Amino acid sequence: MKSKYIIISTSDRDIPIVFPLYVTHLSMSESLKSKLGVVTSAGFCYIGSDGIYHCSGRSESLNIDSNANEDSYILNTILL
């Protein structure tokens, strides 16, 4: 199932947040970034038949591209 995600960067780590398609990247970002850090990447993700996250796309509401390979690595390392 396809979802949205953002990567929030803090001084010492990258934090992936995965959320449903009906929530905008902007609303998720606004609800979290002041508490955690700066949104550095955003897009869409899904867990493939290989059992790992795949990231792509961009956030139109934030005007931020995904870093597909790096973001996939972050999601897989932290969330799986």
Domain borders along the chain are 3-79
Q: Which helix (H) or strand (E) holds 31?
A: helix 25-36
* 77, pLDDT greater than 80: yes
pLDDT, tens only, 4-51: 999 999 888 999 999 999 999 999 998 876 677 889 999 999 999 999
Where does the pLDDT of residue 80 fall: very low under 50, low under 70, confident under 90, or very high at 90 and above? confident
Q: Which residues contact 17 (CB under 8 A, 6 or more apart)?
A: 5, 6, 7, 8, 28, 32
Q: What pLDDT is stored for residue 36 in this prediction?
A: 76
Q: What pLDDT is stored for residue 70 in this prediction?
A: 96
